[in-house]
Structure 1
């Protein structure tokens, strides 16, 4: 009887989350297309799309780029930079704290399409970055052509760090100051207090933030598509971009849906890892 009040929530979750996932799985088992006979009457073809994926080198390349993009920009970039800013703000003057917070959060509250075009202008050949580098006599670098993954990784770090900063800022307020003061009196350095007191006490927040930023980064599409369109060639085609290209540019909707479904599996793997990180504390 206690579970009855939760029934509407469970039904809504099943309808709006589980339902689309099941429909996506079914679509990935068909030859659905935007043109031809398959557009009108898609045919069930079983796991053919998945066997074709396993034999497609572009798919494996895209997986590698997706993992690189996620690890570099979310797991490392956003989390490390967000934690660093939160730690600095903790001891900063209120004016500095407000100014830095406003600047960092400004990148996060921008609509994604606006942020994407701003970052494209920043990394373009005649953009802000090359203009600044030109002032110190560094020749023009074709960032979006020669270093597409580095460009989109830095862009995503700039775009998403604010969320991590706010999560860690809230978590740090829960660390009792008297414990840190006692460690300082005992001669512990700042790094020792961070490693042995602060980080262990915010482990739950770290794992939660890692999961949220990872899942969000796995689905980043607009930022990459506006900046590089997955190019040059397929050198920045992460799984969301590849799924879009296959489904809507090459009209292979079923094949593109298989790629999108595979993304769900990758997200599930990351989620399981982070949930296991939380499990000892939950059990305690």
Structure 2
């Protein structure tokens, strides 16, 4: 026990910082969701403890199921499928590509990730708007493109988020693939395993810890995406792209119901926890 305490002692400052700046705000947020806090009126001066009233109201809110469904669609399509699979594919291809190609592709992909979010959001808005770059390119081929932000808002923001965040997954998987022992791959080749079999039965099992970590990180990042959607569509048209972050913002700061908006944010926290537990459960290391 003394040795365990001695090894843990250097971590005490980090644990204290996490408790103050991470756990503390979470606890305060959960408490705020149980109050009648507001921007104006009695709830602004003296918020009262109302228990789970905000959550019961949320469950009967007709706009909540739509925001929840759009959030899950946005999360699965742009992060779990889009960023994750595209990042893995780019990492595998770049591992076998010439140095010039790796440098060009790496710089191109990472440039979208290092841009400030507001700059990336306006760039995507300019790309998908009625008179934007995408329709200009389609016009060269004689195809008249629609107003993507109005006709297909979710499609536009999903593609924008994939473009914005794929570089993170690519770098995670590049580092993971570099740690795969060449002896394992060479043994699989000798046993007659083709490219797809090596990927499915050798490479992916070896890097599954990295897959789990990447999925958790991009899930949490995507759950908190606000600026990209707000700039491109503002949740419209007719709430067709209103995810939970925008729903919480409109309720808390648009209508002044801070406690209610905080309850929505707490639901987002629970969604992130559920996805994290699923990743840990499905991708946990096996006995082999």
Give the TM-score normalised by the residue count of structure 1.
0.96
Structure 1 residue 93 corresponds to structure 2 residue 103 = no
The alignment covers a number of residue pairs equal to 283
- Structure-to-structure mapping, 1:180-219, within 5 angstroms: 180-219=185-224
Check the 8 A contact 2:209/2:285 in 1, yes or no: no
Aligned-pair CA distance for 1:173: 1.0
User: In 2, Cα distance between the equivalents of 1:6 and 1:91?
Assistant: 40
Deviation string 1:66-123 (CA, Å, 9 cap, x unpaired) is 1110010000000100011111101100001000000000000000000000000000
Question: Which of 155, 164, 172 does residue 167 from structure 1 map onto?
Answer: 172
Structure 2 gap ranges (5+): none
Deviation string 1:120-170 (CA, Å, 9 cap, x unpaired) is 000000000011111111112111111111100000000000000001111
- Structure-to-structure mapping, 1:230-249, within 5 angstroms: 230-249=235-254
2:143 is paired with a residue of what secondary structure?
Answer: coil
Structure 1 residue 47 corresponds to structure 2 residue 47 = no
2:39 is paired with a residue of what secondary structure?
Answer: coil
Aligned-pair CA distance for 1:256: 0.4
Structure 1 gap ranges (5+): none
Aligned-pair CA distance for 1:10: 1.8
Question: Which of 110, 113, 122 does residue 108 from structure 1 map onto?
Answer: 113
Deviation string 1:52-73 (CA, Å, 9 cap, x unpaired) is 0010121111111111100100
User: In 2, Cα distance between the equivalents of 1:43 and 1:192?
Assistant: 60
1:236 is paired with a residue of what secondary structure?
Answer: coil
Check the 8 A contact 2:208/2:285 in 1, yes or no: no
- Structure-to-structure mapping, 1:1-284, within 5 angstroms: 1-2=5-6, 3-281=8-286
2:51 is paired with a residue of what secondary structure?
Answer: coil
Q: CA RMSD in A?
A: 1.4
2:40 is paired with a residue of what secondary structure?
Answer: coil
User: In 2, Cα distance between the equivalents of 1:21 and 1:193?
Assistant: 43
Give the TM-score normalised by the residue count of structure 2.
0.94
Distance 1:280-1:88 versus aligned 2 partners, 3 A rule: closer
Aligned-pair CA distance for 1:262: 0.9
Aligned-pair CA distance for 1:175: 1.6
